[in-house]
Amino acid sequence: MDDVEVRHLPDNLPQLFADDAGGGADGRADGGAERTLSVPLPEGDVVWPDPGYPQRQMLLRPAFWLSDDPVDGDLWARLRGEHERSGLWPLLLDESDQPWAAGQIAPEPVSEIGNYVPHAFMYEVWTDYVDQAVDDDHDDLAPFGRHCPGPAPPGALLDDPGVIADRHARTIAARAPSLGLAAVDRGADAIAAVGWQGALNHNEWTAPLAAVLRGWEERFGARVIGLGFNTLELSVAAPPVTTRHAVHVAAEHWAFCPDILFQGPGTLAGYAEEIRGKTWWSFWWD
C-alpha cells in the first residue's frame, strides 16, 4: 500500500457530508474534509433533489454523487474496500436518468433509521395484511398463517461478506449500471440517504426499510449492491441453507417486499426454495 497515493476527496464530493458547523439531518458531524480516497473516479457530479419532486426534508447539500457513464464491478469492489476511510458507500444504479440524474429522489435523515424497530415493522405489515385479506386460512403465508413469526435467526457465514459483495457486484455490472456514491456509515443507510423511492407503493417512508436492511447486514452478512427505479440488489454471505430457516427468512422478505411473493411463486414455501442457499437477494416493487 506504500505506493498508493492517498488523496482527500476530489472536487465536490466533500459536499455530501454534513460539516461541524452545519450539523446535518443525517447525524454525521465530521464532514468530508478529512476523508481520503485512493481510487480514481470516472467523470461525474453530485446530484441534488429536484425541488419540484415531493421532498421529505430540506436538504442543504447534494444527496449523492453519480458517474456520467457505466462502470465495472471491479471499481465498485475497490470503492467498497475504501469505504471505512472515504465514508462513501458505492451503489450500482440502473436507469440513471430516471430517477437518478433527474433528481427524482426524496432523501430522508439517516438519523431517523434508528427510530424504527425491524420486528415491529414486520408485525405491522403482517397484521395489516391478515386483517384485510379475504382468505382467512392464509395458505400463502403457511406455515405461519395469521401469526407473524418475527425475525429469523442468523445464518452461518459462507465467506467474508466483502468477498461475496464484490463477486455479486461484478455480476450486476454486466447490466452497465452507473456508479453512485452515498455518504453513509453503512450500506443499509444508503437507500434513505440517496432518497430512493422504489418501495413507495408499499411503504411511504424508506427509513423503516433501511432499518430492516441493518438487521440483515448483522444476521445474514447482507450488503447493499445496487438500486434501480423500483429494485434493490443485495449480496448475502450467510443465507439460510435449510428449508425451515429459508421459510422463516422468506416471511421477513414478504413483509419487506410483498410483490416478490404475490407476483412470484405465491407461497412462502415456494419462495423459500428460491432463496435457500443463494448468496444474493433481489427485490422489486410494483
pLDDT at site 4: 53
The whole model's pTM is what? 0.92
DSSP-based three-state secondary structure for 22: coil
DSSP 113-155: GGG--HHHHHHHHHHHHHHH-S-SS-GGGTTTTTS---SPPPP
Query: All 3 cell numbers of residue 17?
Result: 457530508
CA-to-CA distance for 64 and 67, rounded, in angstroms?
Answer: 10
Question: 38 Cβ partners below 8 Å, 6+ apart?
Answer: 4, 5, 6, 7, 82
Q: What DSSP state is assigned to residue 241?
A: -
Query: All 3 cell numbers of residue 185?
Result: 456509515
Q: Which helix (H) or strand (E) holds 223?
A: strand 222-227
Domain boundaries, the chain: 7-110+161-200
pLDDT, averaged per 10 consecutive residues of the chain (286 residues), comes to 65 81 40 88 95 84 95 98 97 89 94 96 92 71 92 98 98 96 98 95 94 98 97 98 98 95 91 98 95
Q: Which helix (H) or strand (E) holds 163?
A: helix 161-172
Q: What is the largest CA-CA distance in the chain?
A: 66
Q: Which residues pair with 222 in a beta bridge?
A: 236
pLDDT at site 1: 42
CA-to-CA distance for 197 and 230, rounded, in angstroms?
Answer: 7
CA-to-CA distance for 211 and 218, rounded, in angstroms?
Answer: 11
pLDDT at site 6: 59
Question: Which phi-psi region, left, alpha or beta, contains residue 274 (left: φ > 0; alpha: ψ -120 to 50)?
Answer: alpha
Q: Which long-range contacts (CB under 8 A, 24 or more apart) does 247-251 make?
A: 247/143, 247/272, 248/149, 248/152, 248/153, 249/152, 249/155, 249/220, 249/275, 250/275, 251/122, 251/141, 251/144, 251/148, 251/149, 251/152
Q: What DSSP state is assigned to residue 188?
A: G
- By DSSP bridging, strand 88-93 and strand 222-227 are parallel
